[in-house]
Amino acid sequence: MNKTADAHERQLAVWERWWSTIDGRPGEIVWDADDTDLAADLTSFTDAFHPGLPVIDLGCGDGRQTRFLARRFRTVVGVDISPAAVERARAGENPPNVCYRVVDARSSEQAEELHHEFGDANVYVRGVLQALPPVDRPQAVMSIGTLLGSSGALFAKELPPEAGAYFAEVVERHGLWPELERVMRLIPPGQITKDELVRLFSPDWFEVISAGAARIDTVNVLPDGEPISVPAIYVLARTRPVGLAYRHRGREPRRER
């Protein structure tokens, strides 16, 4: 196995281990979304999401946010690298407008297949790009471009360095509680700055509509009862008109002479 394939396998193994050892204790999934999380962001992206298109929840985990999305959008497809996550998601109380697929965001072939199945889609991402090794992020963004096609829009919300500072401060105040300790032990830490996030969306394929501050609002609370609400950043983007996008799609970046 070459080095890249090996790194991909390790990433899958990390998430599969996480999702296959969840036992359902309250607070175990530290990032579990409160329903206010989506409500707060809808104002940023509803106008950009064409209502006739399906929404792909990329890196959907156990489908909690996928089900919230399904209250607002006609068809929602949750996709995740981890078969154990998708199994959990499918076992949830899903409305009929939700379905799930096992997909690695770094695979162009899998993105093409999904696009072939559902056509152009809006893409929703919460806490996934920052969790990928930086070297894998451009590939995931290429997959996002494929899923958007010419008419979809993307909303991605990710953890910046301020999130690390937030957790350092709450650990200072409360000590390391078991659920957070489990995340830190099993999942390699990841973060991305707003500039890095925006730069992933190359202007020859994407138009960044807006970017800014957000929160990851969770259903969980700190030991003192305060809700866990983590500083986040978002980007809203769409693809440029077909001609320009297809001219550069799938090619190596042009070298400056």
Binding site for ligand SAM (CB under 6 A): 11, 15, 31, 33, 59-61, 64-65, 80-82, 85, 104-106, 126-128, 131-132
Residue closer to ligand SAM (CB basis): 85 or 236: 85
Buried b (16+ CB within 10 A) or exposed e, 69-98: bbeebebbbbbbbbebbbebbeeeebeebb
Beta carbon of residue 21, minimum distance to ligand SAM (angstroms, whole number): 13
Beta carbon of residue 136, minimum distance to ligand SAM (angstroms, whole number): 7
Residue closer to ligand SAM (CB basis): 34 or 240: 34
Beta carbon of residue 224, minimum distance to ligand SAM (angstroms, whole number): 24
CA distances to 108, 109, 140, 213 from 250, in Å: 9, 12, 13, 31
Is residue 55 within 8 Å of 49, Cβ to Cβ?
A: yes
The residue count of the chain comes to: 257
Is residue 238 within 8 Å of 154, Cβ to Cβ?
A: yes
Residue closer to ligand SAM (CB basis): 232 or 237: 232
Residue closer to ligand SAM (CB basis): 131 or 148: 131
Give the integer Cα–Cα distance in Å for 14 and 125. 19
Beta carbon of residue 242, minimum distance to ligand SAM (angstroms, whole number): 26
Residue closer to ligand SAM (CB basis): 128 or 142: 128
Beta carbon of residue 226, minimum distance to ligand SAM (angstroms, whole number): 20
- The neighbouring-strand residues paired with 157 are 126, 234
